[in-house]
Amino acid sequence: MAILLTLPLLMGSVPYASYGYGTINDEVFPSLAGAAPVRLITGADLGVGALRNPRDFRFGKDGLIYLADTGNHRILVLDGDLSVLRVIDGFDRDGVRETFSSPEGVFARADGTLYIADTQNGRIVVLDKDGSLLTLMDQVQLTGSTLTFRPQKLGVDGAGRVYVVAGGSTEGLIQLTDEGEFVRFFGSNRVRPNPIEIIYRLFLTRTQRQSREQFVPTEYSNLHIDDIDLVYTTTRNVREGQLKRLNALGDDILLRGDTGSRAVFGDLMLTPRNMSRTAQFMSVCLDADENIYALDNATGKVFVYDKTGYMKFMFGGKGDQMGLFADPHAVAEKDGTIYVLDAGRGTVTQFRLTEFGEKVLLANRLFLQGDFEESLEPWTEVARMDAGYEQAWYMIGNAYFGRKDYAAAMEYFELGYARGSYSRAFGELRDDWLRDNFAILFILAAVGLIGLAVYVNVRRRQKAGRGKAA
Amino acid sequence: MITTARFAFYVLFHPIDGFWELKYHKEKTFGAANLILALLCLMNVASMQFASFHYGILDRESNNILLNISSFVLPLLAWTVLNWALSTLLDGKATMKQIWVQSVYSLVPLLLSMPVLLVMSYVMTLSEYPFYALIQTLAVLWCVFLFLFGNMTIQDYTMSKTIAMAFFTFLGIAATIFIGIILFSTFQQLISFVSTVITEIRYMP
């Protein structure tokens, strides 16, 4: 409660609360804002009329921004300064003009080849960078599934394999060849059966069982392909695996912190508005250091995780001011500028990392690279700006540990509630001490042992003497 | 009293003789037992408060000394009362005071282990925890051993009957807690009912 009351004081000029996760009892502690809104962009600002229910906003591998203006059935191509380069609202197919129907996803490869998930037409349109049709994937047969193909989001890896998030696809991502041939379902979410439900079902008739909710895996909500062709996915309504990083086998290889609540993907701050810890991730993107920006549609917050799965800070929220959203659907990042697309209002909000956010990410990058020494200065700076930022103390402790200054390391680990690391530092300190004082200790032990032996011997003789006397 | 308290060391290694002596031949055993219990509480608080960072509790600020002590004393009290209540029905030979004294004397291994563990927490790392746990477990096992033999001696029971009685005492404790909770919530309801009625009457037009 106290935290809730003090939060507005710390918010400064941003209209949302910023907080980190503590080690003790899943506590939430207020922190400085990691990013602040700088600009709100509407369709009118772009000069293309109001956006209607836009669903996707993505940096292409060619560096341009691609915005799926779903309600207006068009794709906008923007440059880095957010001025419109092209508006794509259709293509020529054998001389006949064809249009899109509610395209929800878009992806561009490095050569500008554009993949459009033409959702309501049930097809994927591939255009070259001048807008002429390359491939039309409209005959996708999903083997072993009765699903109608409704592509929503897509990504293409370096080899041209297409990964598609499709509505209702509980089997996982759909993988297609570059020609649009169905290959396989990829990286399906696992079902987690509920034991009570299983027992309950034992007592039901078949008809009753069929009317119960089915145990089906949850469908993916979005995907992002990173630079080495691993697929990041988001899933809504799940307690585990909200964020995944899939390798070629479809296994999740995302790191999730080491222990405790800092490894949770989702909001730990429970408010009347947000009573659930299940994040509704709608979109995910990475920055150059592989920090993960994940957009939670339920709370409207963008959570920033580093590549080891630790939550660094968050920003955004639900509401009416700049920096808050009605129904956010996409997040994209470039050079410390973060864009969030609000489908509900048809706007794009531009955020900039604050000094604090930049420091945290810089220090964290150095730390993860193993430059403990280098990371000491920025982490100290972070701790100076926000002494409540628990991770900073832990990281400073690590820097001192790397420097073999174990006493200082212990002090900082204690501030960061890092018990295991504290113990490690303490062990080193103790062993050093033992090593330095080994000679003295050895002599003391030897003297003690000899003394004891003499004492026992004397006592025994005394007793024997007394026995004889009696 | 102090001499009687020091007799605990004898009881430690000679439970049957020791508890027999304690019951029939020692003076001021009640005071001695309470002295030991006070020491035990003190040690328990000390080890909570002063254990090294990596062996202690993380959140020292929320450490509640009263809660800590009552988590020790209340179960002991419940055991004493329930064990007495049951043993009087099943021809036990001990008074309630004697059961109390015996229970506290049985906890002496715990009292002895605590300072050792406290010191160990400043010498050992977390990876050496098994040694720490070993001493902890040994102390607890020893306590159980003393508890059983002590109870057997002062009640003049056989071992199997002592174990059965211990089992039923635990059942009794559970039942007591259950009834206590029911009583508590009933009174809570009653109080809130009365206060609601009073409010209604006060603001009646």
Sorted by where each begins, the domain ranges of chain A are 2-353, 368-429, 437-470
Which B positions 95-124 lie with beta carbon below 8 A of chain A? 123
The stretch B66-78 carries a mean pLDDT of 89
For B25-63, the pLDDT digits (tens) are: 777 788 888 899 999 999 988 888 888 888 888 777 778
Cβ distance B59 to A419 less than 8 Å, yes or no, reads no
Name the closest residue on chain B to residue A25, using Cα atoms: B59
The whole-chain average pLDDT of chain B stands at: 88
* CATH number given to A368-429: 1.25.40.10
Q: Is A259 on the interface with B (CB under 8 A)?
A: no
- Which range marks the domain in which residue B57 is found? 2-166
Instruction: Give domain status of residue B175, yes or no.
Output: no
B167 vs A147, higher pLDDT: B167
* The CATH number of domain A2-353 is 2.120.10.30: yes
Which B positions 125-144 lie with beta carbon below 8 A of chain A? 125-127
Q: Which helix (H) or strand (E) holds B30?
A: helix B29-50
Q: Is A25 on the interface with B (CB under 8 A)?
A: yes
Distance from C-alpha of A360 to C-alpha of A378, rounded to nearest angstrom: 7
Q: Mind telling me how many Å the CA of A413 is from chain B's nearest CA?
A: 10
For A63-110, the pLDDT digits (tens) are: 899 999 999 999 999 998 888 999 998 888 888 898 999 999 999 998
A346 vs B91, higher pLDDT: A346
Instruction: Give domain status of residue B111, yes or no.
Output: yes
A381 vs A278, higher pLDDT: A381
Name the closest residue on chain B to residue A414, using Cα atoms: B53
Give the per-residue pLDDT at A276. Answer: 65
Name the closest residue on chain B to residue A416, using Cα atoms: B58
Q: Pick A417's closest partner by Cβ from B52, B58, B125.
A: B58
Q: Is the pLDDT of residue A259 over 60?
A: no
pTM value > 0.80: no
Distance from C-alpha of A273 to C-alpha of A16, rounded to nearest angstrom: 14
Distances (CA, A) of B122 to A278, A414, A435, B47, B50: 41, 14, 17, 11, 10
Give the per-residue pLDDT at A328. Answer: 93
Q: Calculate what percentage of chain A has a pLDDT beyond 90.
A: 35
Cβ distance A426 to B58 less than 8 Å, yes or no, reads no
Total domains, chain B? 1
Which of A413, A426, A428, A441 should we substitute to test contact with B (largest number of B Cβ atoms within 10 Å)? A426
β-pairing, A301-305 with A311-316? Answer: antiparallel
Q: Is A423 on the interface with B (CB under 8 A)?
A: yes
Instruction: Give domain status of residue B185, yes or no.
Output: no
Instruction: Give domain status of residue B131, yes or no.
Output: yes
Instruction: Give domain status of residue B172, yes or no.
Output: no
Instruction: Give domain status of residue B159, yes or no.
Output: yes
* Three-state secondary structure call for residue A220: strand
Distance from C-alpha of A459 to C-alpha of A213, rounded to nearest angstrom: 83
Contacts with A423 from chain B: Cβ below 8 Å: 54, 125-127
- The interface pTM score, or ipTM, of the predicted complex is 0.75
Give the per-residue pLDDT at A5. Answer: 44
DSSP-derived letter for residue A179 is T
Q: Calculate what percentage of chain A has a pLDDT beyond 70.
A: 92
Instruction: Give domain status of residue B176, yes or no.
Output: no
Instruction: Give domain status of residue B203, yes or no.
Output: no
Side chain identity, residue B38: A
Q: Is B59 on the interface with A (CB under 8 A)?
A: yes
For A200-229, the pLDDT digits (tens) are: 888 888 888 777 766 677 888 999 998 888
Give the per-residue pLDDT at A343. Answer: 92
Cβ distance B58 to A423 less than 8 Å, yes or no, reads no
* Three-state secondary structure call for residue A444: helix
Cβ distance B53 to A410 less than 8 Å, yes or no, reads yes
